[in-house]
Amino acid sequence: MHRKHFLWLLAGVVLPFMLSSCGYNKMVTLDEQVKSQWAQVQNAYQRRADLIPNLVNTVKGAANFEQQTLTQVIEARAKATSVNISADQLTAENFQKFQAAQDNLSSALSRLMVVVEQYPTLKANQNFLDLQAQLEGTENRIAVERKKFNEVTQQYNSTIRKWQYIL
């Protein structure tokens, strides 16, 4: 009889440890997915930043353009590329700084595109049209990668809040 009680007691002690290790492994996997997806978000933003010098040079060469608008875009790009966050430093505060810099760049690019509308020769320039199409495609990539990042992060946050993973 003592042996049977001992086996039940042993199972009662060992089983929770086994289950918690499965939960821990899942959290590690999700943490790695969050980090990987964050890298994809940064790649998409970097692609956009890499397109901007070509866009600015095309605009400069095609029209007597408002220098202030170009300067704002160049400065916003410099600020956006200076704010980099590794996945290990991804806190709410750091994310807000990163996002503020990216939003500032998006706003400057929007102003640039509004001003471009005043230059019909620029809108007919094939190089500019190609860059504009690439920029639009990159904005779509950013949206897709951010959506994926949010989904993975939500899954990670939900997992670590479940009671069986708190053990």
Report d(CA 98, CA 82) in Å as an integer: 9
- pLDDT, position 166: 57
For the chain, list residues with pLDDT below 50.
none
Q: What is the rounded CA–CA span in Å between residue 85 and residue 66?
A: 33
Tell me the per-residue pLDDT of 98-121, one tens digit each, with 9 for 90 and over: 999 999 999 999 988 888 888 888
In the prediction, which pLDDT does 9 show?
63
pLDDT value of residue 21: 53
Are 80 and 27 within 8 A, CB to CB? no
Distance from first CA to last CA of the chain, Å, rounded? 31
Task: Give pLDDT, residue 164.
Answer: 57
Q: Note the pTM of the prediction, 2 decimals.
A: 0.77
3-state helix, strand, coil in the chain (%, to 5): 90, 0, 10
Provide the H-helix boundaries in 63-91. Answer: 67-82
Cα distance between residue 127 and residue 148, in whole Å: 31
Q: Which of 42, 72, 58, 38 is nearest to 133 (CA)?
A: 58
Longest dimension (CA), the chain: 95
pLDDT at 120 (0 to 100): 80
